[in-house]
Amino acid sequence: MVGDARRVLGIAGGEEPPLPDAVRKALAPDMFSNTLSGDYIVCPQTEEHQGQMQMVCVKSGSNLKLEPR
């Protein structure tokens, strides 16, 4: 399935979510100061509802591009 850029996804796991090594390394040292775009494979943790953020677990990330906020 091809992702839809209009969807809002949240990463399940709180302040220190479990992330694949490639994603964690790209975000280090401060994951909240940057935006990381790319192609992700995610697994839903909550049901999808129109107009609401869906929580997911990130399984992998590729074509990662880091930009400051």
Residues of the chain scoring pLDDT < 70: 1-6
Q: Is residue 1 part of a domain?
A: no
* Domain boundaries, position 24: 9-68
SS3 25: helix
Token readout for 45 is 């943790």
Q: Is residue 54 part of a domain?
A: yes
First to last CA, the chain: 28
Q: Is residue 3 part of a domain?
A: no
Question: Amino acid letter at 9?
Answer: L
53-63 pLDDT per residue, tens: 999 999 999 99
pTM recorded for the entire structure: 0.74
Q: Is residue 44 part of a domain?
A: yes
**Cβ-Cβ contacts under 8 Å for 44 (sequence gap 6 or more):** 54, 55, 56
Number of domains in the chain: 1
pLDDT at residue 4, rounded to an integer: 54
